[in-house]
C-alpha cells in the first residue's frame, strides 16, 4: 500500500531535552500524521529545568538546508520558531521569499520559560520588517505581542488593538495567546485577514508541565493547514488538542515537563 502524506517544514532551534523547539515540532507533526522536515537555525543545550547554552548556526548551512528541502520535497505549509538573532532572521526571511512553501506560520519565539533569550533585542525590528509581512498566521503569546507593539497589554481591548496593529505590520491573520493575561483565563484572541475577530476558549489547565506549549500550538496549526483544514477550524482544533494533551500529563524531567505528544 502506498499513500501520499502532507509534507511540512519547521525552521527552528533544537532542544536537547526533547520538549520544545524543533523536537516538539517534529513530535507534534508526527502525531498529526504529516511528514516533518526541518531547517535547524541553532542548537540549544537544554532540559526541562532551563536553557544551559545556545549556539546559532552559520547562515551558509541554513541556506543549504533550505536548498536541500526545496530540491526534494513539496512543502505544503511551513513554520518558524527560534531564530536567535538579526542575521538568522534575515537569512530565514530571504529563503522564505526565494522558495514557495505554502502558508507560513510565524511563532515569534523570544524567551524560553526559564528566562533564556532565544531572540536578541536587535532582531525584533528585523523580524517585524522582514518576517511579519510574509506571515499568513502569527502566533505571539502576550509577552511577545507586547514586544512587537512596544507597549503593555493589560486589558482585552488592549489586546484587540494589538491584533490590529500587528496585522497592519503585514501579518495576515493574528493569534495572540492570552494564557499570560490573568491567572485562570485561557483565551486566545484572533483577528482574521477579513477583519473578523474571534476568541478561542479553553478550560484553565493547572499544570507546570507546559514546556513547549507555544511550539506545539504552532505545529498543530501548520499540520492542520497542510492537511487542507480551513483556518478557523484549524485554530479551534489546535486549541482543543493542546488543552487535551495539557491535561494528560507525562512525568519526564524535573522542571517544567514536556507535553504528551502521543495525542
| Binding footprint of ligand PLP on the chain (CB under 6 A) | 12-13, 15, 20-21, 44, 46, 81-82, 109, 112-113, 118, 211-215, 256
Listed residue (32, 9, 13, 31) closest to 23, CA to CA? 13
The least CB distance from residue 47 to ligand PLP, in Å, is 10
Closest contact distance (angstroms) between CB of 139 and ligand PLP is 10
For residue 228, the minimal CB distance to ligand PLP (Å) is 26
DSSP 56-111: EPPHHHHHHHHHHHHHH--EEEEEE---BSHHHHHHHHHHHHHS--SSEEE----B
User: Least CB distance from residue 90 to ligand PLP, whole Å?
Assistant: 18
The residue among 31 and 110 lying less far from ligand PLP, judged by its C-beta, is: 110
Q: Which is nearer to ligand PLP, 6 or 212 (CB)?
A: 212
Single out the residue of 249, 181, 189 nearest to residue 213, CA to CA: 249
The residue among 118 and 162 lying less far from ligand PLP, judged by its C-beta, is 118
Minimum distance between the CB of residue 45 and ligand PLP, rounded to whole angstroms?
Answer: 10
Give CA–CA dist 126/221, Å, rounded. Answer: 24
Closer to ligand PLP at the Cβ: 192 or 258?
A: 258
Torsion over CA: 158, 162, 168, 172 (sign):
negative
Q: Which residue minimizes CB distance to ligand PLP?
A: 21
> Of 28 and 192, which CB lies nearer to ligand PLP in the complex structure?
28
**The three three-digit cell numbers of residue 155, written as one number:** 486589558
Continuous segment of H or E residues that includes residue 204: none
Nearest to ligand PLP of 13, 103 (CB atom): 13
Contact 79, 222 (CB under 8 A): yes
DSSP state of 263: -
Q: Name the minimum Å distance from CB 157 to ligand PLP.
A: 27
Amino acid at each position: 500500500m502506498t499513500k501520499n502524506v502532507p509534507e511540512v517544514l519547521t525552521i527552528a532551534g533544537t532542544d536537547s531535552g526533547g520538549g520544545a523547539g524543533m523536537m516538539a515540532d517534529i513530535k507534534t507533526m508526527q502525531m498529526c500524521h504529516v511528514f516533518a522536515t526541518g531547517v535547524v537555525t541553532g542548537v540549544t543545550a537544554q532540559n526541562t529545568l532551563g536553557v544551559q547554552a545556545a549556539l546559532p548556526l552559520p547562515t551558509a548551512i541554513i541556506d543549504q538546508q533550505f536548498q536541500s528541502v526545496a530540491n526534494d520535497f513539496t512543502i505544503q505549509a511551513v513554520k518558524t520558531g527560534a531564530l536567535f538573532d538579526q542575521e538568522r532572521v534575515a537569512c530565514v526571511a530571504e529563503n522564505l521569499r526565494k522558495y514557495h512553501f505554502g502558508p507560513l506560520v510565524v511563532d515569534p519565539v523570544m524567551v524560553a520559560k526559564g528566562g533564556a533569550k532565544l531572540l536578541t533585542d536587535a532582531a525584533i525590528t528585523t523580524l517585524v520588517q522582514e518576517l511579519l509581512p510574509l506571515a499568513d498566521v502569527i502566533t505571539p503569546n502576550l509577552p511577545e505581542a507586547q514586544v512587537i507593539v512596544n507597549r503593555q497589554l493589560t486589558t482585552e481591548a488592549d489586546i484587540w488593538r494589538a491584533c490590529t496593529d500587528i496585522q497592519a505590520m503585514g501579518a495576515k491573520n493574528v493569534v495572540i495567546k492570552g494564557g499570560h493575561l490573568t491567572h485562570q483565563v485561557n483565551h486566545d484572541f484572533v483577528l482574521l485577514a477579513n477583519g473578523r475577530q474571534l476568541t478561542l476558549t479553553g478550560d484553565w489547565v493547572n499544570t507546570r508541565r507546559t514546556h513547549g506549549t507555544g511550539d506545539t500550538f504552532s505545529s498543530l496549526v501548520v499540520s492542520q493547514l497542510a492537511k487542507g483544514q480551513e483556518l478557523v477550524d484549524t485554530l479551534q482544533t489546535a486549541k482543543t488538542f493542546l488543552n487535551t494533551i495539557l491535561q494528560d500529563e507525562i512525568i519526564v524531567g524535573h522542571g517544567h515537563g514536556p507535553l504528551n505528544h502521543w495525542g
